[in-house]
Chain A
């Protein structure tokens, strides 16, 4: 088993076909069903939705001291809106979950393997 991060990237101000209230409800319902499916398949590890990037705070080391600043680490139009951490046998299995999620929320999802499993020999 390997772990994958499924990150949901929102693009600020991007014009995509807006969902109606009904579609929104439908989407939430699908996500709920999907999460249940992930859990009963033993694939779900953790998931979460994030507040807007303007709620972020960054801390960094500067001259041996921790400096705190307001705002996201990178100012960009794209930001992480939410994520799943799943475990799956291989990339195809991870992509299958990601495909279901993107079909429900209609936002692109990036699938990335966690590094701690990368050392495992595998074709």
Chain B
């Protein structure tokens, strides 16, 4: 963040960065004012063009976020007054109170806080498909361009543009509301919001070309945690993301291949993120309203506590997985629990649990079996399992890693 020095020099990249940071607020505020997503998006885009022209020469305004919202609103008003449809729209719109025309009025910033929360609940409404939820959230709150959103999810730009248009049309036609759900509906409605943020993070993890998505997911989780301080699962998600992110650099070798948790250079883990994540986990424990994100965060916090892999408190991790399995009884959770059991009771106990699971199409299942078989000295079966895992792995790095595992065991 820049200070308020009006003479601060900014280049186009800096203007772009500030816009990415602030556009979610501005779009959210303008949707509330004009009741129309397209009007809001176009106006913020126009304000960006104005900033690109003016900021590099004139320096940053004292409150760039407020400036963007005010400029975008004025642009939208100008344009709507010129257009017939717009004049009709204006007739029905509650314009912000007079006097707030002054660029960067502080009270505007206070208002838009809630607007972003409204917007994320609209973007993640259960009446929209998960793909549409993710795309809308990244586009409207994350300020990503349609092209960037498309690249993040490996779809053609046309396809993504169509997806966004269709979703926005449905919001408008079906009147998906622009508000934060009431208390009794909040648990059901919060679930897709958290799932979307988690999906965005995982998309960033899966594609090393888009590490920005991980940062974006953490930024969204932070906004949610600030705006909904009483929701333990929101805090849990933020902690989970921070603790996972703290290990990012140590997870891959320079050639892109994967490093398992037990083999990572723990001195490269990001201590600040770990401390922040662990502090949140401790607050969650005190609150004692466990949920799936909080438990996964707690498991990661236990790993982060261990200076070496040998010092890991595996029985604590098994206990946390026991709780997680009650809340989310999925075979994937059972698989991860079995891995932890293997560290406490040995590979034979773990293999017995793993072999009961119906996960034939999930490559980590075969990778886990391979590792357990190898530790039991059943090398031929291990090699076959590594081969199956490698054949199903989604990335070259993982395939390479698993093939190496297979060779090493022969």
**Interface residues, chain A, with chain B CB atoms under 8 Å away:** 2, 89-92, 95, 111-113, 115, 117-118, 120-123
Q: In the bound complex, do residue A91 and residue B174 qualify as a contact, i.e. CB atoms below 8 Å apart?
A: yes
Chain A binder among B32-40, B99-107, B145-153: B32-40
Distance to closest chain B CB from A119 (angstroms): 9
Pairwise interchain contact A123-B93, C-beta atoms closer than 8 A: no
Q: Is the CB of A122 within 8 A of B127?
A: no
Query: B171 interface residue, CB < 8 Å from A?
Result: yes
> A123, B174: Cβ atoms under 8 Å?
no
Mostly, the B contact residues are loop
**Is A121 a contact of B173 with CB atoms below 8 Å?**
no
Would A123 and B122 count as touching, CB distance under 8 A? yes
Task: Report whether B35 and A121 are in contact in the complex, using a CB–CB cutoff of 8 Å.
Answer: yes
Q: Which residues of A contact B172 (CB under 8 A)?
A: 118, 121-123
- Seen from chain B, the residues whose Cβ lies within 8 Å of a Cβ on chain A are 31-32, 34-37, 88-89, 92-93, 122, 125, 127, 171-178, 181, 185
Asked, given contacts A121-B35, A121-B89, whether A113 binds B173 with beta carbons under 8 Å apart, the answer is yes
**Are B34's CB and A118's CB within 8 A?**
no
Bound-complex Cα distance A113 to B92 (A): 21
**What number of A-B contacts does a CB cutoff of 8 Å give?**
50
| Contact (A121, B93) CB under 8 Å given A91-B127, A95-B127 | yes
Give the CA-CA distance A112 to B175 in the complex, in Å: 10
Task: For the complex, give the distance between the alpha carbons of A117 and B175 in Å.
Answer: 9
Output the least CB separation between B286 and chain A (Å).
34
Q: How far is the CA of A111 from the CA of B178 in the complex (A)?
A: 19
A121 to B145, CA, bound (A): 24
B181 to chain A: which residues have CB within 8 Å? 92
Closest A residue by C-beta to B122: A123
- Besides A89-B175, A113-B174, A123-B32, 20 more A-B contacts (Cβ < 8 Å) are A90-B175, A91-B174, A91-B176, A91-B177, A92-B177, A92-B181, A92-B185, A113-B175, A117-B175, A121-B88, A121-B92, A121-B93, A121-B172, A122-B175, A123-B36, A123-B37, A123-B122, A123-B172, A123-B177, A123-B178
A118: B residues at CB distance < 8 A: 172-173
Distance to closest chain A CB from B38 (angstroms): 10
Sampled A-B contacts (23; CB under 8 Å)? A89-B175, A89-B177, A90-B175, A91-B127, A91-B174, A91-B175, A92-B177, A111-B174, A112-B174, A113-B173, A117-B175, A118-B172, A120-B92, A121-B36, A121-B89, A121-B92, A121-B172, A122-B36, A122-B175, A123-B35, A123-B122, A123-B172, A123-B178
Q: Is the CB of B173 within 8 A of A115?
A: yes
Q: How far apart sit A123 and B172, CA to CA, in the bound complex (Å)?
A: 6
For A111, A112, A113, the residue with the greatest tally of chain B CB atoms inside 10 Å of its CB is: A113
Residue of B nearest to A115 (CB): B173
Interface centre among A90, A92, A123 (most CB of B within 10 A): A123
Q: How far is the CA of A61 from the CA of B174 in the complex (A)?
A: 32
**Set of chain A residues within 8 Å of B34, measured between Cβ atoms:** 121
Kindly list the 8 A-B residue pairs having the minimum CB-CB distance in the complex, ordered from nearest: A123-B178, A90-B177, A118-B173, A90-B175, A113-B174, A121-B89, A91-B174, A123-B31
Residues of A within 8 A of B36 (CB): 121-123
Give Cα A91 to B173, complex, Å: 9
Give A90 to B181 CA distance when docked, in angstroms.
13
A118 to B35, CA, bound (A): 13
Q: How far is the CB of A41 from chain B (nearest CB, A)?
A: 17
**In the complex, how many angstroms separate the beta carbon of B1 from the nearest chain A beta carbon?**
29
Which residues of B are found within 8 Å of A113, using beta-carbon distances? 173-175
* Cα–Cα, bound, A69→B125 (Å): 42
